[in-house]
Amino acid sequence: MNWDQLSQIELPFHDDLKVPVLTEVSLALPRPEPIADVAAVAHAGVVARLADFVTPGMTVAVGGGSRGLAERVALLCGTISGVRALGGEPFVVPAMGSHGGAQAQGQLAMLAGLGITEESVGAEIRATMDTVEVARTADGMPLYLDRHAAAADRILPVNRIKPHTCFKGPIESGCAKMAVVGFGKQPGAAQIHACGPVEMRDRILNGIDALRATGRLLGGVASLESAGGDVVRVATLTADDVGGPAEVELTNYARDLVPALPFPQIDVLIIDKGGKDISGTTLDPNVTGRFWVHGLADLAEPDVSAIVLLDLTPVSAGNALGVGFADFIPVSLARQIDWQKTYVNCFTAGIAGLRRARMPMVLPTDDDCIKAALSMCGRAFDQPKRVVRIASTLHLTRCWVSDPLLRELPVGAAVIA
């Protein structure tokens, strides 16, 4: 693609088209008390809950993910020190499916970009894309583990519990998914994501049952975050808890902590940054309302007419799966896209990568994208527009809105002076 040519195009904006002034508002969202010392709570939980399952010298592969978890280093440090306190020998494996371009060095780079290094977590990191089949589900689906994880006595996923971007079920994104999908690298992730939403849910549930039956699953360490990005709960799960009632209860709680944007109708949604550390789909559809997966309905609210995405986070390293959620992006963002990484992730995501990787309209500047969205959102150029601007779809406690939405603020929202 000749981005230089696109950067020079002239656009037929109406002379009277004006970008509305936006007012910053705080949103009324659940804000439980944050945990003051995440590492200490994780350590204590591992020692208390897993003491009966760790024997001296037991090797434990601890899963490190690609998401932008709050306090991720502290969470891993506490988990690792807890395993050591029980006599185990922990090491970290990147448990992130095909992220990082489905390459070991790419996954190490993603962890480093999130601050997760051997020095920061105090444990060796072993990266490979090689996998071993360790079990089969009752219906014959193979279960894969990263070769290093398969060689360990046990695996221990460490992950945030949150609503998933591709399916709905009693458990969604969390320890069970990391164990079945993340630890399975590209083949493990591909066979799950190749399915529709219902089968994807069922395969994860069946997969965790089969993995548990092998005796390889030690348990899990789960974190829950408020909309403001604070860790508000850390739960250590036994093997029976992972994918079981305990993780179901945590998933129900997590749904209340990650609400969608609280406006029924949005003409233009401007998002400053998207990225793999924000959501596996760059933009979290649980916030924007757009899922765009066959078999999974979009949210009724918010109903967003046009989305503008302005930038990618550096840790994404050009992986832009989910860029298709946006309707407009600037040339500066388009230049960042690494199509090799993006398309590998799309193929791994299966049907969930089909529409989400389509190229939006690429325009010269941020301002051009915003004006284009205002021009094409379904309202005449001289009509007031409902515009919302957010920093990202992660840790959403405030936003910027146009005047029509100031008159529709939800209960508890307030203008920031």
Q: What is the pLDDT of residue 232?
A: 96
CA–CA gap between residue 9 and residue 213 (Å, rounded): 60
Strand ranges in 69-218 using DSSP code E only, listed in sequence order: 89-94, 131-136, 142-146, 154-160
82 and 228 in a common domain: yes
Strands 361-363 and 328-330: parallel
DSSP string, 340-380: HHHHHHHHHHGGGGTTTT---EEESSHHHHHHHHHHSSSS-
Q: Are residues 43 and 184 in the same domain?
A: yes
Q: Over range 249-266, report the average pLDDT.
A: 91
Euclidean distance between CA atoms 300 and 408, whole angstroms: 17
Q: What's the mean per-residue pLDDT of the chain?
A: 92
- What is the residue-wise DSSP string for 275-297? -TTT-TTSS-HHHHS---BTTBP
Are 233 and 69 in contact by the 8 Å Cβ rule? The answer is no
Same domain, 333 and 281: yes
Domain stops at, among 257, 277, 298? 257
Compare 259 and 391 and report the one with higher pLDDT.
391
Q: Per-residue pLDDT tens for 272-299? A: 999 988 988 999 999 999 998 888 899 9
**CB distance 165 to 73 below 8 Å:** no
Amino acid at the residue 25:
V
Per-residue DSSP letter, 324: G
Helix axes 38-50, 72-85, angle to 10 degrees: 30
278 and 151 both lie in a single domain: no
* Per-residue model confidence as pLDDT tens digits over 180-196: 999 999 888 888 877 78
Q: Which domain holds residue 309?
A: 3-29+259-415
- Whether the per-residue pLDDT at 1 is higher than 70: the answer is no
103 and 47 in one domain?
yes
Q: CA 15 to CA 19: how far, in whole Å? A: 12
Last residue of a domain, one of 191, 224, 257: 257
117 and 138 together in one domain: yes
Quick one: 202 and 337 in the same domain? no
Q: Among residues 241, 257, 273, which one ends one of the domains?
A: 257
For range 167-185, the mean pLDDT: 92
Q: What is the pLDDT of residue 99?
A: 76
117 with 197, same domain: the answer is yes
Q: Helix (H, G, I), strand (E, B), or coil: what is residue 23?
A: strand
User: Is residue 126 located within the same domain as residue 44?
Assistant: yes
Residue percentage of the chain with pLDDT more than 90: 71
Mark whether 265 and 194 lie in a shared domain.
no
Question: Parallel, antiparallel, or unpaired: how do β-strands 361-363 and 387-390 relate?
Answer: unpaired
Indicate whether 353 and 229 sit together in one domain: no
Number of domains in the chain: 2
Q: What is the dihedral of CA 69, 72, 75, 78, to 10 degrees?
A: 180
324 and 253 in one domain? no
**Can you give the CATH number for the domain in which 100 is found?**
3.40.50.11440
Report pLDDT digits (tens) over 58-93.
999 999 987 778 899 999 999 999 999 999 999 999
pLDDT at 46: 98
